[in-house]
Structure 1
Amino acid sequence: MIKEIHDNYYNLTTMNAQELISFKQKALQWAAQFEVCCYFDSNGYTDPYSRYDFLLAAGARQELNTATGNAFKTLQTFSQENPGWLFGLLSYDLKNEIENLTSAKENKLDFPDLFFFVPQYLVAVKNGNIEVLAGLKICLTQLADCSCLRPLLPPHCILSLKWIGRLTCLK
């Protein structure tokens, strides 16, 4: 799969279907070491708008974590200060900034209303070819060496029992 890697140079061979599955598993395991990561996978679906088969953003060079109020204005400023790739989430409660609505539901998962980050590493795959779009290309060596396929754990900031309790609450 990966023939050789030097500081900012890497030589790749195209991955077959089985190698791609293995690479995805290793990539997710590698990303689990970071507090923040985001993974998008087309699962083989193609359309005219897709550029990549999957993207993995790991680590955060910059983060934006804000509550409803001026969230969209804050996001606009953040995106202007950090041009390029941004990944994140928007909560349902942000509707209150756009419409004259309110919500009385408790946020039992403690997710922020708006969270975006600039990835430290961004790895993309298209047609079996790996490309590092952000970060050091040496991360490919770490990915290739990742043999610790173990179940993914809940987010670092939430203890397992607390996480299970919150999920039970949602049922």
Structure 2
Amino acid sequence: MQKEFTFSELNLSSEVFRQKALRWAEQFPQVAYYTGNSLPYFYQGFEDLLAISSQKTVPIPAEKAFDHLTLIANSGKFWCGLLSYDLKNQIENLQTSRPDFISFPEAHFFEPEVWFEFKENSVVIFGKKAGAEQIVDQILALQISEQPSGKATWQARTSEADYLENVRKIQEHILEGDAYELNYTIEFFAENAIVSQVQLFEKLNKKSPTPFAGFFKLNDSILMCASPERFLKKEGQKLISQPIKGTIKRGKTPEEDQQLKEQLFNDEKERAENLMIVDLVRNDLSRSAETGTVQVEELFGIYAFQQVFQMISTITAQAKPEENLATILKHTFPMGSMTGAPKIKAMQLIEQYEAHRRGLYSGSIGYVKPNGDFDFNVVIRSLQYNTQTKYLSYKVGSAITIDSVPEKEYEECLLKAKAIMEVC
């Protein structure tokens, strides 16, 4: 099945049809929605896609994750999926001991029964069966009723005092040569939270539109994501990674905006952090790349988002012919911007100092096309929710270096969480 409908023939705007389609999709146990929010971005953001499956499947066993990823890479089909940060344990000799309150698996992909490709003036519906007209009729019949999306009573799993003390301890490790940089994160959570997941995602996406936003549902586990960061894209044989390191708030006037933008660009600490991760990504990509093809196409690019300016660099490479999704992920996951350098030691220290299990946070959601191309984000600036336990969570972090001021790092964490705290 493949059928295209123009929004003019449906007598609906693109925005309203998407809202209705996402609410229609919410009834299914597996849902993946990706949007680039029509934002200009180097190598573009996510394509605008919505996919569903009516199968309530059991996620693949962790120890078989890469066998499954190899099958996906060679299947010639369209897939939607997630990669939890804890997938690192299958790549390196690492462990995770913290409790998991959201219950996303280490990796999971599903082949949609129906998926939508949103264009500027139309939507194309694909599926395994006929029935695009019936699906559209069901979507058009839905009434959008705005209910309270939910308000959480947030608790900090790590107190500000403990955070500051841990940053100082991490700096001692850096001084002793254990690491150069460490991405240290903290969790805020709410128990017995009652939220409207799709509506809350829409509020978050409207408050903070980003090029790698998404909504992902796997049975009882929900992700509402407003990520500005790409982990990895494959386009033909070209690999593209765009790590973020460097954050500053937006100004209240155009003049203040310009001043803050220049301040971020010229900040030696932020540039040093960014350069460390650029070097790490270059090394990761080189393991899958043709010799001599790894290059930095943009260094210290400053990008404007609703709440913040971000410093983003773009590294590309030409993949070897034999490389596919599974082998490339083994060489690059998890993303260096969310670990630190050197990567393995940084991940060991993360386990030592963080009081929470990262789970899908600092992992990735994305899609794989039939031709083997793929695009994956970095799961940050996101809410996670379990519909059974009513546990709601968001996590934020920053890069710790020897030059970090602990109090300023804590302020940066709160700045990154601003949009989340304002919508829930």
TM bucket by the smaller chain? 0.7 to 0.9
Determine if the alignment matches structure 1 residue 100 to structure 2 residue 325: no
TM-score (norm 2): 0.33
User: Which of 80, 83, 87 is 2:80 aligned to?
Assistant: 87
Name the SS for the 2:94 alignment partner: coil
TM-score (norm 1): 0.73
For 2:96 and 2:86, the matched residues in 1 are separated by: 7
The amino acid that maps onto 1:41 is T
Deviations 1:81-124 (A, max 9, x none): x5311001111111111112222122221111111111111011
Assess if the C-alpha contact under 8 Å between 1:62 and 1:118 holds in 2: no
Determine if the alignment matches structure 1 residue 162 to structure 2 residue 155: no
Bigger relative contact order (CA 8 A; separation at least 6): 1
Name the SS for the 1:124 alignment partner: strand
Deviations 1:126-153 (A, max 9, x none): 1121111225312122222222445545
Offset of residue 27 of structure 1:
0.9
Assess if the C-alpha contact under 8 Å between 2:6 and 2:123 holds in 1: yes
Determine if the alignment matches structure 1 residue 68 to structure 2 residue 295: no
Q: Which runs of 4+ in 1 moved over 3 A?
A: 7-11, 46-53, 60-64, 148-161, 168-171
Unmatched tracts of structure 1, length 5 or more: 1-6
5 Å-filtered alignment, 1:114-153, equals: 114-135=107-128, 136-138=131-133, 139-151=135-147, 152-153=196-197
Q: Residue 4 of structure 1 corresponds to which residue in structure 2? A: none
The amino acid that maps onto 2:389 is K
CA pair 21-11 structure 1, distance change in 2 beyond 3 A: closer
Q: Residue 31 of structure 1 corresponds to which residue in structure 2? A: 25
Assess if the C-alpha contact under 8 Å between 1:51 and 1:126 holds in 2: no
Unmatched tracts of structure 2, length 5 or more: 148-195, 199-216, 222-385, 397-424
The amino acid that maps onto 2:27 is Q
| Number of equivalenced pairs | 160
For 1:121 and 1:160, the matched residues in 2 are separated by: 24
Offset of residue 79 of structure 1:
5.1
5 Å-filtered alignment, 1:48-67, equals: 49-50=43-44, 54-60=48-54, 65-67=59-61
Assess if the C-alpha contact under 8 Å between 1:26 and 1:149 holds in 2: no
Name the SS for the 1:66 alignment partner: coil
CA pair 167-106 structure 1, distance change in 2 beyond 3 A: same
Assess if the C-alpha contact under 8 Å between 1:64 and 1:115 holds in 2: no
Offset of residue 10 of structure 1:
5.7
Name the SS for the 1:167 alignment partner: strand
Deviations 1:24-52 (A, max 9, x none): 11011110111111111111214475598
Assess if the C-alpha contact under 8 Å between 2:49 and 2:117 holds in 1: yes
For 2:79 and 2:2, the matched residues in 1 are separated by: 23
The amino acid that maps onto 1:108 is F
Q: Which shows bigger deviation, 57-66 or 28-37? A: 57-66
